[in-house]
Structure 1
Amino acid sequence: MQTDQHVGETPPTPGGGSGSQKDEGAQPQHRTPAKLPPHSQAAVAQRMNSVPERPMPGVYYSVPHQASHPAGWRTRRHLKRKNLRQTLGTIALSERIGTGTLLPMAASVFSIFLVVVIIFVTVAGFINATHEKFGDKIITLEDILPRDSTRIYDVHGKLIFQMMDQGMQTSVPLNKISPHLAHAEIAIEDQYFYKNPGYDITGILRAAISDMTSKKVVSGGSTITQQLIKNSIVGNQSTMLRKLQEIILAPDISRYYTKEQILQMYLNTTYYGERSYGAEAAAFSYFGLKDTTTQTAAQQLDIAQSAMLAGIPSSPIARDPFLHPKAASTRMQEVLQQMYSQGYITAKERADAIAEAQKPNFLKPGTFNNRLAPHFVNYTLRELASDLHVKISDLSRAGLIVDTTLDLDLQNKVLKAAQKHIAEMAKLHNMSNAAVVVLDQHTGAIRTLVGNIDPNNPKYGDFDVASQGYRQPGSSFKPYIYATAFDEGISPGETVLDGPLTIQMCCGLPSYSPHNYDQNYHGWVPYRYALQNSFNIPAVKLLLRTSVDKALHTAQSMGITTYEGIPNYTMVLGSLSVHLIDNTAGYATFANGGVRIPPHAINTIRDQDGHLILRIRPQPQRVLRKETAFMITDVLSDNDSRIYEFGKCSSLVLYKTTMNQCYAGQPGPIRPSAAKTGTSNDFRDNWTMGFTTDVTVGVWAGNNDNSPMVNVTGVDGAGPIWHDTMLLAEQGQPIRPFPGPPSTLIKKTVAYPGKITTDWHFK
């Protein structure tokens, strides 16, 4: 066993020398190893090397062993590891490619998906917004369609006026429209109308291609349903947004309405140019066709006319046959070709239609006289606006059918009579105009309203003197004062002194001294006689007894709704200016036994489908005792009492023969009538008012510039017009006397100052 040799010690050599040789045959010599410090690095190293090795597990036999792996294993492992390295390299390469290529591709796909989602959300939101905005209008489409022009008819059903300031439209049922027009519209506008859901994608694409090829809008691609939506719901702005709204709403329209309903709405509202909306108006405007008792104008359209009209809506101005006949003719032939191609007409019918359109009288523009009764119409429009609480401008396309009280035949006859008389009086008496009102006092119906005898005069023809002009009524105002007095118990037989009279006025005004028309005084006269001969002084004295306020109240309650001037003692002579129609309404109250029925021009108001909206039934109101109304009627119909002023056969007596024949004792049958004349100061206004058992007539005569007439009295100026109007209005009516006195009146004889009279008194 070896012992450790301490570092730094050198073993001694024999002989005291130094070196490494030893003596041969010398005996080994025992050496003591050097001591190392226990904690030195060398000691630590020696101890580490002295640790015995861990024994091998198992038992080792020194005999040959079998190989642990089969032959070729290492080669296969090498190849496998090589393939693995290639695979890992491929994966690494794929990862490197994915990081550089697939990631952007994924980002692109995600972006596309995001855009699609945004578009979908936007489209969905747009669709929902469209339905939310216009959904209610789809359900109420028939109610929101442009309404017809308001039409006004006379009492016999004759059309006298149609509002055209916003175009003309008259709706008719589909079965009242020519099938040729329906076929023409479908052929040129919407070939697959009965099959498509309201829009036609192929048509839209075809139109888009045509527009892009032409670099301008040459085709719209809109179906009939879309055009209906454009005209009535979304508006006609040329934007993609509006087109999308049409496409969105079209299926809803097609689901809610039948194809026939859609076609009817379209044909009644589409614009055909010349301010004509719908087939009925277009048939009139271009071909002069009118509604008859058996057919509407639209129902009379033939193939050529229908093809011409069907070509207009796509461009109403550029294809207006009056303005651009060549363009209209070209379009018409395109329509006919489409009708032929789609089997609606034969080749012969197409050729015949083209030949018809080439005739010189093919187009016949319709004309309508909207001034058959202009003053009555204006009065009616004001009344209509008041009844419906709207503005007159709101009535143009309100779709209203207004049946009025006007008798147009009577109106025309009265107008001619007035024109004839004014022509006779013009030069000699400086009289240029007249106004006439005929009222049915039992209903308040205005049967005639002539506001001006020359309605077409460009200077003053439109002015309606009857309902808009304020004119002084003269002595025709006196019956209101007499009625006030009679109502207070004064008898028509009571006498009054017709003599000089001076009234002291208040407030520093000069005194008032009335004079009679004939500038004479007549002493003691009954009020009956004074009224019939239109004496002024007795009337003023009667007003002093009744008071101005009471007399004015009577006039207002009977029909004088408005006036100009200051009420005072002069008003008994007609100083207050009033409307002729109001004065006539006041006399109608006398005629109706003291019951006032406000005058009205309208009987019924219906919508364009014929449904009743309003029936005018003025409420009667008693404003005067029947006894008083009877006494006024009895006095005004007493022709014997007015012989002094007017003569036996004046125009206030309703005989059928001439005045000369009447004076010759041949008046013929005389119809009872009550009448009163009136002439204002300086002969500026001339009136005759009166009534029979059937009608009340008021007539004014004068000048438009308010200049004075020359030597005219009521019986000469307005009287003859009143006389002729009465006979015209009563034509065919039986002659009836006025009703007898109420049981509360009694006729008795009383001695008054100056006279003994027999007249009516309250019991």
Structure 2
Amino acid sequence: MKTEQHAPRSSNEKEIPVVSTSADEQKATHRTITPAKLPANSRAAAAQRLNDIPPEPVRGVYYEATHHREHPQGWHFKRHLKRKNLRLSNMRYLQTDQKGTRWGIMPIALSTLAALVVLASVLVAYTALNGATQQRYGQDVTTLQDILPKDNVKLYDSKGTLIYQAIDQGLQTTVPLSKISKHLQNAEIAIEDQNFWNNPGYDITGIVRAALSDLTTKQVVSGASTITQQLIKNAIVGDQVTATRKLQEIILAPDVTRHYTKEQILEMYLNTIYYGEQAYGANAAAFTYFNLHDTATQTAAQQLDIAQAAMLAGIPSSPIARDPYLHPKAAQARVEEVLKQMYLQGYITAAERAKAIDEVKQPNFLKRGTIKNTAAPHFVHYALNELAQELHVKVKDLSRSGLIVSTTLDQQLQNQVLKIAQNHIAKMAKVHNMSNAAVVIIDHRNGAIRTLQGNIDPNNPNDGAFDVASQGFRQPGSAFKPFIYATAFDHGISPGTPVLDGPLTIQMCCGLPSYTPQNYDQSFHGLITYRYALQNSFNIPAVKLLMQTGIDPAMKTATDMGITKYEGTPNYTLVLGSLSVHLLDMTAAFGTFATGGIRIPPHAIDTVKDTTGKTIFHFQPIGQRVLSKQAAFMITDVLSDNTSRTFEFGKCSVLYLYSTTQQQCYAGKPGPIRPAAVKTGTSNDFRDNWTVGYTTNYVVGVWAGNNDNEAMKDVTGVDGAAPIWHDSILLAEKGNPIAPFPPPPSGIVKKTVSYPGLTTTDWYKATK
């Protein structure tokens, strides 16, 4: 069998089996077909190369081939960029190093120099501020206790009862630290200055915190003031919101801490800090918010409990915004914060904190205290003016003077006298058109005013504030006559000297009409003694006596004895009371008769002290003789002669100080009689009614009438003011032993003298 030789096949050649349909062809062997050679870049060649891609391997079979790339995609590109950036950075560093040699040192040097200049400027400024502050306020530090805001002035009556305290510039009552509740001390420290006992007067941590807050807001919003700094602000540097003021506080704080103990600083702070509602200091705040009062054993501030103390401690940082009356919610939140700090700092327990919070929420927790200066408004007004005069200041300057004033007022007596006057006026109002009265009671032995009631309705909004006793000018009527009689007696005329009570006409000069005085009863009484004329208030004898003494000498006697002010022109009518005078002056002047001619000015102020107890002023009664003791005795003897005045007033008038009823007196049972010298007076048209008189202890003056000076109806001297005088002077003398007036002095004798038509027995000045 011949073997057919085939030419070698190239790699591109493939055996292609040929399928034959005929039997002959099936027996034929396979033929080798060689693909046509195509251009390498042709599409056909590319299509033929697709058959060169190996088939996809069967999963699970291992092939010696790399499954993962050695570097992630893009690695080479990133490496290229890094190398490029590294080259650029190296170039920049090289350039910087090259420039630094010439330009780098200069900015650093300039910056350092600028910082040093700023630091030096700050140091210089601080040094200058420190020096200026020490120079300006250094003395104030050493006298801090003296320059603190003073207490409001307080007036007490003669028995130590508070009758007035000034409220126009706030309330303040200084008390020792031991008299301030420990709870309030702890509360203030806990919320205001928790390091108070250890810091040098300022708190660095608080200052930094406040500085950051201020810088953040670009304004002063946080103070970080310690208790010491607050004290300095309130007492020394002022409360302007500036950085300079804050620095001054910090500068002075260590000095204050060196000069005073912490206890002294806390005491000064708690006595002067403002608690709102015009309350300065703990004691005033305890009264204002809780109506606590000083007692014999405790001050108001000493009675504060934990809840009350926490409420007060939360107010000073913002007195208006945290006022519990105005903003209760804000005040409540602040109380809880104070209690929280007290608990955290160990001042109270959790139980005490919870109890205090519950107490604050009670509806009756706050009890507003109210100042009532209505006890003796007319006396207080007079006393304040007298105090200002004695201390040579203005009345308005007394409000926060820190003075504690003891006055001469007997408040209990004044209240009782007021009731007497009110009851009598009520009886006289409808029938006699009398609506008001004023009463003055003076201890003539030392000039102390025990009662000064200028109006029976002092709280009346229309005219109750007007003080008739010390401010009103009223005509005294016949009550003025004793001054003319005293002048005559001092010049040698005796009460027993006779005078003709008959028609009298005085020719006036300078074209003025003649003057013809008339007696009250429109009658003439013939030849009588001056004693009888004075006791029965006859006018014609008094005018005749004035013609003998002269107007000027008589007025000098009146002014020397105490008539310091008057309205009108002195003339022959002054003996009838035509000049208008003050009831207080009239009462004091009659007191000069009681003292034997020695005038002791009336006064309302007894002792003045400061809050430390130091006496600032004490009244020393210094008498001045203005009338001879002989003339004074004669007036007393005449005015106390009840027999001589029986013609006009009756045997048992209210001018007679019997101890039983008037009916019993007329029945011959007057009881013990208290000697009293007294004179009545009624002005023209019944506009004013007076009674002024004295015993061995007191002189009492009473005016009755109307505030608008309207005429009364048919009021005699014994009906208007006299009943008030009678009851008032007996009330003042209640409990005092009955004592006669002093015996006649030397230089006076009692003798019987016969005159044509009249023989009298009376007192006469002894002739040498």
How far residue 660 of structure 1 moved from its aligned partner, in angstroms, is 2.2
Give the stretch that moved more between structures: 233-242 or 644-653.
233-242
AA of the residue aligned to 1:503: I
Q: Does 1:611 align with 2:645?
A: no
Listed as ranges, the matches of 1:482-501 within 5 Å are 482-501=485-504
Query: Which residue number in structure 1 is paired with residue 716 of structure 2?
Result: 713
Counterparts of 1:67-466 in structure 2, within 5 Å, are 99-209=102-212, 219-466=222-469
Q: Is residue 288–residue 370 contact of structure 2 (8 Å, CA) maintained in 1? A: yes
Q: Which digits, 9 at most, give the CA deviation of each residue in 1:47-87, with x for residues without a partner?
A: xxxxxxxxxxxxxxxxxxxxxxxxxxxxxxxxxxxxxxxxx
User: Which letter does structure 2 place at the counterpart of 1:563?
Assistant: Y
Asked whether 1:553 is paired with 2:553, we answer no
Deviations 1:255-275 (A, max 9, x none): 111100000000000000110
**1:112: how far off?**
2.4
Equivalence for 1:64 = none
Give the Cα–Cα distance (whole angstroms) in 2 for the partners of residues 554 and 98 of structure 1.
110
Contact 1:524 1:753 (8 Å CA) reproduced: no
What residue is the counterpart of 2:80 in the other structure? none
- d(CA) in 1 for partners of 2:280, 2:744: 60
Q: How far is the alpha carbon of 1:343 from its aligned partner?
A: 0.4
SS in 1 for 2:470: helix
Amino acid at match of 1:300: Q
* Unaligned stretches of 5+ residues in structure 1: 1-92
Matched, 1:573 2:576: yes
Q: Which amino acid aligns with 1:296?
A: T
Residue 473, structure 1, aligned to residue 476, structure 2:
yes
Match of 1:669 among 669, 672, 686: 672
Contact 1:495–1:753 at 8 Å: present in 2 too? no
SS of equivalent residue, structure 1 residue 191: coil
Distance 2:712 2:220 in 1: 68
- Is the CA contact (8 Å cut-off) linking 1:400 and 1:606 kept in structure 2? yes
Query: 1:321: how far off?
Result: 1.0
User: Using the alignment, how far apart are the partners of 1:350 and 1:109 within structure 2?
Assistant: 55
Instruction: Tell me the secondary structure at the aligned position of residue 316 of structure 1.
Output: coil
Aligned residue type for 1:198: G
Computed over aligned residues only, the root mean square deviation of the Cα atoms, in angstroms, reads 1.5
Instruction: Write out aligned runs for 1:592-603 (5 A).
Output: 592-603=595-606
Deviations 1:143-176 (A, max 9, x none): 0000000000000000000011000000000000
Whole-Å separation in 1 of the counterparts to 2:284 and 2:733? 38
The question of whether the paired residues in 1 share the 8 Å contact of 2:566 and 2:581 is answered with yes
Aligned to 1:542: 545
Q: Which amino acid aligns with 1:294?
A: T
Normalising by structure 1, we get a TM-score of 0.86
Question: How far apart are 1:394 and its partner, in Å?
Answer: 0.5
Secondary structure of 2:509's aligned partner = coil
Using the TM superposition, give the Cα deviation of residue 98 of structure 1 relative to its aligned residue in structure 2, in angstroms. Answer: 5.5
Verify the 8 A CA contact 1:207 1:221 in the aligned structure 2: yes
Quick check: 2:220–2:242 contact (8 Å CA) kept in 1? Answer: no
CA contact (8 A) 2:607 2:618 kept: yes
The amino acid across from 1:222 in the alignment is S
> SS state of the match for residue 671, structure 1?
coil
Provide Cα deviations, 1:562-614, integer angstroms capped at 9, x if missing partner: 11100000000001111111001110000001000000001111011111011
Deviation string 1:187-225 (CA, Å, 9 cap, x unpaired) is 000000001110111112233445667888764311100
The offset of 1:104, in angstroms, is 4.2
- Paired with 1:211 and 1:342, the residues of 2 have a C-alpha distance of 27
**Counterpart of 1:690?**
693
The 1-side partners of 2:243 and 2:111 are apart by: 29
Separation in 2, partners of 1:537, 1:127: 84
Letter in 1 for 2:672: P
CA contact (8 A) 1:747 1:758 kept: yes
Comparing 358-367 and 576-585, the one that deviates more = 358-367
Q: Deviations over 1:298-334 (max 9, x none)?
A: 0000111000100010111111111111111111011
Q: Secondary structure at the match of 2:764?
A: strand
Question: Which residue identity does 2:328 align to in structure 1?
Answer: P
Measured in 1, the distance between the counterparts of 2:160 and 2:552 equals: 45
SS at match of 2:232: helix
Q: Does 1:587 align with 2:585?
A: no
Deviation at 1:669, TM superposition (A): 1.6
Query: What residue number does 1:17 align with?
Result: none
CA separation in 2, counterparts of 1:107 and 1:178? Answer: 60
State the Cα deviation string for residues 647-704 of structure 1 (Å, max 9, x = none): 0111101123322222222322211100000000111110000000010000001100
Alpha-carbon contact 1:559-1:585 (below 8 Å) kept: yes
Amino acid at match of 2:167: M
1:626-645 to 2 correspondences below 5 Å: 626-645=629-648
Contact kept, 8 Å, 2:484 with 2:575, in 1: the verdict is yes
Task: Tell me how far apart the structure 2 counterparts of residues 394 and 414 of structure 1 sit (CA, whole Å).
Answer: 32
Q: Which residue of 1 aligns with 2:52?
A: none
1:522 matched residue in structure 2: 525
Q: Which residue of 2 aligns with 1:42?
A: none
**Pair 1:751 & 2:754 matched:** yes
Distance 2:220 2:127 in 1: 28
Aligned residue for 1:435, secondary structure, equals strand
Aligned to 1:81: none
Q: Report how far residue 344 of structure 1 moved.
A: 0.4
> Quick check: 156-165 or 99-108, which moved more?
99-108
Deviation of residue 463 (structure 1)? 0.7
Identical aligned residues as a percent:
69
2:590 maps to a residue whose letter is: Y
Aligned amino acid, residue 311 of structure 1: G
**Following the alignment from structure 2 to structure 1, what is the Cα–Cα distance between the partners of residues 572 and 757?**
26
Instruction: Output the TM-score relative to the length of structure 2.
Output: 0.86
* SS class of match (2:744): coil
2:12 alignment counterpart? none
Query: 1:9-20, aligned counterparts within 5 Å?
Result: none
Q: Is the 8 A contact 2:657 2:730 kept in 1?
A: yes
CA contact (8 A) 1:652 1:675 kept: yes
Q: 2:131 & 2:219 partners in 1: Cα distance?
A: 32
Question: 2:290 & 2:755 partners in 1: Cα distance?
Answer: 77
Query: SS of 1:467's equivalent?
Result: coil
AA aligned opposite 1:733: N
Q: Counterparts of 1:738 and 1:96 in 2: how far apart (Å)?
A: 119
Letter in 2 for 1:493: G
Q: State the 1:100 CA deviation.
A: 3.3
Please give the alpha-carbon distance, in whole angstroms, between the structure 1 residues aligned to 2:107 and 2:304: 68
Contact 1:495 1:754 in 2 (8 A): no
Bigger drift between 513-522 and 320-329 goes to: 320-329
1:523 partner amino acid? G
The alignment partner of 2:459 has SS state of: coil
